[in-house]
Amino acid sequence: MDNKFKIDQIIIVIILFFYSYNSHAQESNNSIKVVYKYHVPNNGKMSDEIYSQLTANNEHSIFISERDDFPKPENRITQDGNSISIKVTESDEIGCYVYRNFSKDSIVFREVGSKFMNAILVVDHWKEISWDISEGKKKIGKYECQKASGNFRGRIYTAWFASDIPISSGPWKLFGLPGLILEAYDSNMEFYVVASEIIFNVKTDVEIKAVYNNNETKFNYEEFKLYRKNYKEEYVKSIKAKLPRGANLNLKPSDIKNSPIESEFE
């Protein structure tokens, strides 16, 4: 009887071990997915709404937009007096993304290219944002959110985070609060993002990671700063290089409109 009791105990311990192991493995493979309505600076105002999504857990995260299979605004032509503006929404099979691995001190981000410029892939600094958390609170969906503000590369941001979702992540490069960022905007209201859907316990069949297709121009951080500084000149040069032989285009760098989210670098 004693031996049977001991055997039963061993069986129970083994069952509990495998249950605990499987539960932990399942939990570590589960992530949260957040769909955001995303607006970026567009010549002094907000762009049209861009579909974007964040997939994150406590190990890493990736924020993606402008991917071919995502909904996107229609291309359109507008005229203001004698000025004609052609708006084309760029995308590709990978999209723009910001990838973080929380065990490392760098991030990788990608921007899609155009007919004239290659996509770029950048290993960026992991710059901490010094957030000032205030007493302000409001509800976003069903979540009570708390207000925080911080400066990041030329813009002053207000962020609303949900401490009930204890993942220190958020849209684009905004992160570092004790809860998931559900809404954020800059002081000029040129950048604006808000969560529209949150899905828990997403089983990620593919590892959350930085991907590329070898068509990108790759930069380290210092190279990227120089690229951003000379972007207009390089864009004009690239356009003129693709013109048919003998064609002439009177285009100057000052004619190029460019509204990067980041205007300052450390």
Angle CA 158–164–166, to nearest 5: 80
144 vs 175: CA distance, rounded Å: 18
Return the pLDDT at 6.
47
Can you tell me the mean pLDDT for 110-118?
90
28 vs 199: CA distance, rounded Å: 16
Q: E strands within the chain?
A: 30-39, 50-56, 60-65, 76-80, 83-87, 96-101, 106-111, 120-125, 132-140, 143-152, 155-162, 180-186, 192-203, 217-219
Higher pLDDT among residues 1 and 33, named by residue? 33
Return the pLDDT at 163.
96
- Return the minimum-mean-pLDDT range out of 156-160, 184-188, 234-238: 234-238
Nearest to 207 by CA among 61, 23, 63, 26: 61
Can you tell me the mean pLDDT for 67-88?
65
For the stretch 119-137, pLDDT in tens is 999 999 888 899 999 999 9
48 vs 52: CA distance, rounded Å: 12
Return the pLDDT at 22.
38
159 vs 148: CA distance, rounded Å: 5
Average pLDDT over all residues of the chain: 83
* Residue 82 binned pLDDT confidence (cut-offs 50, 70, 90): low
For domain 31-255, give its CATH number from 1.10.3860, 2.50.20, 2.60.40, 1.10.10. Answer: 2.50.20
263 vs 249: CA distance, rounded Å: 29
* Residue 106 binned pLDDT confidence (cut-offs 50, 70, 90): confident
Return the pLDDT at 77.
53
Q: How many CB atoms lie within 10 A of CB 120?
A: 19
Predicted model pTM:
0.82
Can you tell me the mean pLDDT for 194-217?
87
For the stretch 207-222, pLDDT in tens is 788 888 989 999 999 9
Give how far Cα 180 sits from Cα of 27, 54, 167, Å: 18, 11, 5
